[in-house]
Structure 1
Amino acid sequence: MTPAPADPSDACNSLALRKAARYLGATYDKALAPSGLRTTQFSILQKLNAHGETTITRLADMIAMDRTTMASNLKPLAREGLVTVETSATDRRARIVTLTPDGLARMKAALPLWKSVQDRFEESFGADEAAGLRASLTTVLDSGFDPWAE
């Protein structure tokens, strides 16, 4: 049996994950800064590029974010003309998000910056370890919790 840590927060899965996420997020944000994008914005543009136009709700699901936070994250991208957010023609309650040509150009311009920091992380952490980390974190998303359920 493993002894309990002196500081109970040292055994907190959420704290460990958040610390690592803040550390990596700041690292990626710094690398992407010349593009004018933050990591979350870059990820949104990448998802739209890969999947095409989609609803705010579906995009939020793809990024594991609640719909309200996604809508907030889309506002500056829309202001800059990188995405459009329009009412669905088939469902007036749904909002459709589309990557604009300017958004695609900005995402493509940021891609080498992202690739550079991605490569540096994998070099430092280990490519196999990084792949294992992503696999483990994907498994976390399938752990049975429903944090945004109403």
Structure 2
Amino acid sequence: MTTPPTDPGDRCNNLALRKASRYLGATYDKALAPVGLRSTQFSILQRLSVHGEVMITALADMIAMDRTTMASNLKPLAREGLVTVEPSRADRRARIVTLTPEGLARMRAALPLWQAVQRRFEENFGTDEATRLRTALAAVLDTGFEPWAD
């Protein structure tokens, strides 16, 4: 008796993670749309509200994103006056990102929308399961890969 062939996609960690990421990302994007933010933009503004001014590289590390992609994500936020991106006084090659008062106001306006979708997800998925999911996903970042290393 032969076993039926299996679809490698059924066991692909990357595919499973990306499917869930697209699904949740679109859900959060839809929730944040009334204030004109996407979920990644909200995450950037939220991190800046906690950490103050931050070098682009450090901000990219906080969000697990390569520096070039982070710089691209900051451009629309800077155009809208939500962040400033300026050369560091200590190292002119480094860029410092700062949340503006307008950016803080937008992040605060988005916070109840984010909280509502966060609450709904945890109600549907389970609070304990959501905590375990975040813990497991954080552990993925410690698996030893260096995707953005030169």
TM-score, normalised by the number of residues in structure 1 = 0.97
Output the amino acid matched with 2:35: S
Match of 1:39 in 2: 39
Number of residue-to-residue matches in the alignment: 148
SS at match of 1:97: strand
SS at match of 2:144: coil
TM-score, normalised by the number of residues in structure 2 = 0.97
Consecutive unaligned residues in structure 2, runs of 5 or more: none
CA RMSD of aligned residues (A): 1.1
Match of 2:95 in 1: 95
Deviation at 1:6, TM superposition (A): 2.1
Match of 1:30 in 2: 30
Distance of 1:61 and 1:48 partners within structure 2:
13
Per-residue deviation, residues 26-84 of structure 1 (Å, max 9, x unmatched) = 00000000010000000000000011101000000000000000000000000000000
Distance of 1:100 and 1:55 partners within structure 2:
15
Match of 1:80 in 2: 80
Counterparts of 1:1-150 in structure 2 under 5 Å? 6-150=6-150
Distance of 1:146 and 1:92 partners within structure 2:
27
The percent identity for this pair of structures is 77
